[in-house]
């Protein structure tokens, strides 16, 4: 089976390359420099040349604050890029998988969001990602959209790596205690994605199971590392974010579970990640 991965230089892209190779797929990874998802001609030529079975888009403009000021780029990369990919995939009968986000929701719910809940993004990042979902599904009804949240993986700019760095030299760190979500290890998301390749198309919520606040997440990291750094809970208001984040963005696993897949609790995934980072990556 031939798999094309776009956004291959990102944290999820890198994880998928490794995972798919372990599973003996023939992987064709494309970094931004090798394939720009906003360039339809490049996409067309790539698909014609490789004739893959699956096309997986992990490419995105993920800097939430920057999206607020670079709106054109946000909508181009997160909205139009997935549209071009979905169109060209349909043309050549390639199965298209696109990664989306919990930020498509407003964060006002008090129980996990299901796939049928109405999106109501509050940021340019969330709006541009929602446009990407909608255009991909409109252009190619066989697309699969995978929404995930609070992602971390090796070599990525993410919360876990930031806290790890701070825990090595700061006596205390202040972390928001009133925003809830579910941390997701890129490896676990990748395992789910491989599982979903042969399941019916549509929208799926895929995260590790359970939920926590950023404060609880940071505390778990610091505790696992045996660091003496004190984690101090603060409110979102005290933290003073430039761009709003959802208060609650836990994604329900019911649909995934009903398709036979159960992902482990976020703490188990985190422990494996931290251990691996130490043993294999020497981070």
Ligand X SMILES: NC(=O)c1ccc[n+]([C@@H]2O[C@H](COP(=O)([O-])OP(=O)(O)OC[C@H]3O[C@@H](n4cnc5c(N)ncnc54)[C@H](OP(=O)(O)O)[C@@H]3O)[C@@H](O)[C@H]2O)c1
Query: Which chain residues interact with ligand X by CB under 6 A?
Result: 6-7, 9-13, 32, 36-38, 58-62, 77, 81, 99, 101, 129, 148-151, 156
Assess contact for 144 and 177: CB atoms under 8 A: no
What's the closest the beta carbon of residue 152 comes to ligand X, in angstroms?
A: 7
CB-wise, 182 or 226, nearer to ligand X?
A: 182
Assess contact for 33 and 44: CB atoms under 8 A: no
Assess contact for 13 and 7: CB atoms under 8 A: yes
What's the closest the beta carbon of residue 56 comes to ligand X, in angstroms?
A: 10
CB-wise, 29 or 274, nearer to ligand X?
A: 29
SS3 assignment, position 83:
helix
What's the closest the beta carbon of residue 12 comes to ligand X, in angstroms?
A: 3
The number of C-alpha atoms within 13 Å of 74 and in the hemisphere containing its C-beta is 19
**Max Cα distance, the chain (Å):** 56
CB-wise, 99 or 256, nearer to ligand X?
A: 99
Length of the chain: 283
CB-wise, 212 or 260, nearer to ligand X?
A: 212
CB-wise, 226 or 276, nearer to ligand X?
A: 276
Q: Residue 281 has which token pair?
A: 């990556």
Q: Residue 49 has which token pair?
A: 């040349």
DSSP 77: I
- Cα Rg, the chain, nearest whole Å: 18
- Catalytic residue, candidates 25, 83, 103, 125: 125
Q: Residue 248 has which token pair?
A: 């609650």
Q: Residue 128 has which token pair?
A: 């541009």
What's the closest the beta carbon of residue 228 comes to ligand X, in angstroms?
A: 28
Q: Which parts of the chain are beta strand (E)?
A: 2-6, 26-30, 54-57, 95-101, 144-148, 151-152, 172-176, 180-181, 184-185, 202-205, 212-213, 230-234
What's the closest the beta carbon of residue 155 comes to ligand X, in angstroms?
A: 9
Cα gap 169→204, rounded to integer Å: 39
Cα gap 88→48, rounded to integer Å: 9
Per the annotation, the verdict on 125 as an active-site residue is yes
CB-wise, 106 or 171, nearer to ligand X?
A: 106
What's the closest the beta carbon of residue 131 comes to ligand X, in angstroms?
A: 12
Q: Which residue numbers are catalytic?
A: 125
């Amino acid at each position: 089976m031939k798999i094309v991965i776009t956004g291959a230089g990102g944290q999820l892209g890198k994880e998928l390359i490794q995972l798919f190779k372990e599973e003996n797929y023939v992987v064709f990874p494309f970094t931004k420099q090798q394939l720009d998802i906003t360039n339809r001609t490049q996409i067309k030529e790539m698909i014609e040349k490789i004739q893959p079975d699956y096309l997986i888009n992990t490419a995105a403009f993920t800097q939430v604050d920057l999206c607020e000021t670079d709106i054109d780029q946000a909508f181009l990369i997160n909205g139009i890029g997935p549209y071009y990919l979905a169109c060209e995939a349909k043309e050549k009968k390639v199965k298209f998988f696109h990664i989306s986000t919990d930020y498509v929701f407003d964060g006002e719910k008090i129980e996990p969001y299901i796939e049928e809940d109405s999106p109501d993004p509050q940021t340019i990042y969330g709006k541009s990602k929602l446009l990407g979902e909608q255009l991909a599904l409109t252009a190619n009804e066989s697309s699969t959209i995978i929404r995930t949240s609070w992602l971390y993986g090796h070599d990525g700019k993410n919360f876990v790596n930031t806290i790890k760095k701070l825990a090595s030299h700061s006596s205390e760190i202040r972390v928001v205690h009133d925003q809830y979500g579910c941390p997701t290890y890129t490896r676990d998301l990748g395992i789910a994605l491989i599982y979903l390749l042969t399941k019916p198309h549509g929208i799926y919520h895929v995260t590790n199971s359970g939920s926590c606040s950023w404060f609880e997440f940071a505390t778990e990291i610091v505790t696992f590392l045996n660091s003496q750094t004190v984690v101090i809970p603060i409110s979102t208001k005290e933290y003073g974010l430039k761009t709003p984040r959802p208060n609650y963005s836990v994604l329900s696993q019911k649909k995934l579970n009903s398709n036979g897949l159960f992902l482990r609790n976020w703490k188990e995934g985190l422990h494996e990640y931290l251990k691996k980072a130490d043993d294999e990556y020497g981070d």
